[in-house]
Amino acid sequence: QVQLVESGGGLVQPGGSLRLSCAASGNIFSINVMRWYRQAPGKQRELVAAIGSAGNPNYADSVKGRFTISRDTTKNTVYLQMNNLKPEDTASYYCNLLIVQNGGATVKEYWGQGTQVTVSS
């Protein structure tokens, strides 16, 4: 019922910038949280940033001051503006959607297809 389509990844030099987009479509009900994860080869999946239905953002310590998450609630689209990129930011980035229903009794989770970000000189 719900699909997430990501875009915006690519190859960039250290210090450069990229902007990731994730558009959700389908049956989306009640409170929802949109998040960005990343996973590098041989490493665990890491939560990068999250934004709630009220627009409140949260960030991993490793990206604070460099990344900005934002949301267009009218289009169910979340963005991740990545500035001053570093080689350690290289990873596959995944959009994640949590849909909360029935006063929190039901939680559904959906994932985007992933987009590759490579930071290299």
Q: What is the pLDDT along the chain (121 residues), one digit of tens a residue?
A: 899 999 999 999 999 999 999 999 988 766 689 999 999 999 999 999 999 888 899 999 999 999 999 998 888 899 999 999 999 999 999 999 998 888 888 889 999 999 999 999 9
The tokens of 5 are what?
């389509």
Look at residue 10 in the predicted model and tell me its pLDDT: 98
Q: What is the DSSP string of 23-75?
A: EEEE---SEEEEEEEEE-TTS--EEEEEE-TT--EEE-TTTTTTEEEEEETTT
Whole-angstrom distance, CA of residue 79 vs CA of residue 91: 17
Look at residue 100 in the predicted model and tell me its pLDDT: 85
> What Rg do the C-alpha atoms of the chain give, in angstroms?
14
